[in-house]
Structure 1
Amino acid sequence: MYYILQLPPFLLLFIIFVLFGSIGVAGVYIFRKYIRIRYKRAHNEAVGFTFAILGGFYGLLLGFVVFFVWDSMKEGHNNADREGSLAKGLYRNIRYYADNDPAQRELMKSYLKYVNYVLYKEYPDMEHLRSQGDSGRLYFNDVFYKMEKLKGNDVRMAEMFEQLNELATYRSLRQLDGDSAMSIEIWVPILIGAFILLVSALMIDMESVRLHMTITAMLGIFIGMVMYIIILLDHPFTGKIRIEPTGYRDVITMTHDVDRSN
């Protein structure tokens, strides 16, 4: 799936259109050449009525699936944006809290190690659909450990602990969003439904072979278009329209700006 999603979106859409449209055309050709059915007018009306019912139910099914993956991707965007905002806010608090305290400098080093790990290890792993290891948790726990060594017990320190806890929450949500994908148990009924709908379209009796091929190809292309939308939305951290670690990149940019100003 990773290599498929690396294709430019419009190229992937074109390939899916050609694939599903060709399946429709080939189906009409094979059905008319090798399968002989003696149609009566009542038969064709029954096939058309059944096709309309199946199409309605299948369209409803695909609508629910598209809504589900769209909502999941939207939630993934929101969680990643919230995590990035917390990462930037926590960086500012650490940077300007007791600047002369050696514990603050150690905390900043640990925090930047964690930020770099997320930016250059976690997000690339999520992009390549690789499982997450325990290294990120160790980096994050080290930030907690170093923060406990800070001197003082004021409002800003309490705010930093609160931000760090919220950051842990949204990091976990982001990882869950990256690991979640439609299972094969969901894909199989969707593909079986597409097959049944195309077979129903093949059974409709039309005098014009070209018209039959055109209509079936259009049906296949429409099904392929919905599949394309599901594939793109089901992997929010992979592909050309993936979620980017914008907040963490801003932290690195702010670090470089501070270093240049000093």
Structure 2
Amino acid sequence: MFTLYWVYDLPNWLFALLCIVAFVLFGLIGLPLTRKIAKRAHSEDHSHNDIVGYFLGAVTVFYGITLGLVAVGTWTNYSAVQDRVDHEAQIIASLYRDSRGYPEPVSSKLMADLRAYTREIIDKSWPLQRKGISPGGADEILSSVQEDILNFEPKSLGQQVLHAEVFRQFNQLVEARRSRLESTDMSLPPSLWWLVIFGAIISISVTFFFDMRSMIMHRWMTGLMSGLLGLLIFLIAALDNPFRGNVSVGPESLERVYQALMK
């Protein structure tokens, strides 16, 4: 969210509390500051609360639709990144199994390189991705895998079939890796974030124009609405930047492949 990446280092409960408190404070501080102005907007013998209510309803409908679309977009991005990581893990598993069909020493060398590539992603690449850095440390290992495949000369029909399949899977692995790296800095554009933030501010500000005899009731109404908007914005922010924060895509699928096949 903008450049406030430090919020992703906070625990989820603290991040959520920060969002809620920020909007609730805006509502509770803005309400008394605008109370005199709001009262002057109403006539002495007639309240315009019905008009304010209609306007608030229109604003919240439009903003709710926008917020819903943004939330769906962030969840779609999050799910897409998770699918890309799972797909890469699946390709590594298939490639590792098929590499057992090569004769020695090609088989051992290829499997060793795939193990090293998997550990490199889990141990070194992932911490960098969580910081928004596109890692490049596995490039040399991937080049070694490519060299292992290219240097092998099939000597039978079975080896030709196996070699063609392994080469196809290697190309898929390269593409899957590229897709994962491109997702490192995936996030909502700043213009959408400005829309989300200012939409919430406008929605809360409209509640200031109600003319209520009970200030306590007015504060509760404004505070609850502000807290709800803060909670929704926290949800969007937590799902944005899929590799950052506690609600993020992790290397679990790669770890399962390593534990099941390579350890």
TM score, norm. by length of structure 1: 0.87
Task: Give the whole-Å Cα distance in 2 for the aligned partners of 1:135 and 1:15.
Answer: 36
Residue 245, structure 1, aligned to residue 247, structure 2: no
Residue 215 of structure 2 corresponds to which residue in structure 1?
209
Q: Which amino acid aligns with 2:111?
A: M
TM alignment of 1:6-45, pairs within 5 A: 6-32=9-35, 37-40=40-43, 41=46, 43-45=48-50
Deviations 1:176-220 (A, max 9, x none): 222211121211121111111111111121111111111111111
Deviations 1:142-195 (A, max 9, x none): 321221112314222212112111222222222222221112121112111111
2:138 match: 136
1:83 has 2:88 as partner: yes
Contact 1:80 1:245 in 2 (8 A): yes
Bigger drift between 30-39 and 183-192 goes to: 30-39
Could you tell me which of 137, 140, 148 is aligned with 1:146?
148
The alpha-carbon deviation at position 85 of structure 1 amounts to 1.3
C-alpha separation between the residues in 2 aligned to 1:175 and 1:205?
54
Q: Which of 100, 114, 118 is 1:115 aligned to?
A: 118
Distance 1:74 1:247 in 2: 14
**In the alignment, is the contact (CA less than 8 A) between 1:2 and 1:129 conserved in 2?**
no
Aligned residue for 1:98?
102
Aligned position for 1:198: 204
Superposition deviation, residue 88 in structure 1: 1.4
> Which position in structure 2 is the counterpart of 1:170?
176
The answer to whether structure 1 residue 56 and structure 2 residue 61 are counterparts is yes
Q: Is the 8 A contact 1:103 1:149 kept in 2?
A: no
Partners of 1:84 and 1:246 within 8 A in 2: no
Matched residue type, 1:119: I
Instruction: Check conservation: 2:35, 2:209, Cα contact below 8 A.
Output: no
Counterpart of 2:61, as a letter, is G
Q: Percent identity?
A: 24
Q: 1:5 aligns with which of 8, 11, 22?
A: 8
Aligned length: 253
SS at match of 1:236: coil
- Structure 1 window deviating more from structure 2 (184-193 vs 60-69): it is 184-193
Secondary structure of the residue aligned to 2:132 is coil
The question of 1:68 aligning with 2:73 is answered: yes
CA contact (8 A) 1:114 1:140 kept: yes
Return the alpha-carbon distance in structure 1 between the equivalents of residues 194 and 102 of structure 2: 58
Q: Report if the CA contact (8 A) 2:239-2:248 is conserved.
A: no
- Normalization by structure 2: what TM-score? 0.87
Deviation at 1:35, TM superposition (A): 6.7
3-state SS of the aligned residue for 1:185?
helix
Report if aligned partners of 2:86, 2:253 keep a CA contact under 8 Å in 1. yes
- Within the alignment, does 1:124 sit opposite 2:145 as a pair? no
Q: Which runs of 5+ in 2 are unaligned?
A: none
Residues 216 and 37 (structure 1), Cα distance of their counterparts in 2 relative to 1, 3 Å cut:
same
CA RMSD, Structure 1 to Structure 2 (Å): 2.1
Which runs of 5 or more residues in structure 1 are unaligned? 257-262
Q: Secondary structure at the match of 1:154?
A: helix
Cα distance in 1 between the residues matched to 2:256 and 2:73:
31
- How far apart are 1:66 and its partner, in Å? 0.4
Any idea what the Cα deviations from partners look like across 1:36-84, whole Å, max 9, x if unmatched? Answer: 6241336333222111111110001001000111111111111111111
Q: Distance in 1 between matches of 2:177 and 2:41?
A: 62
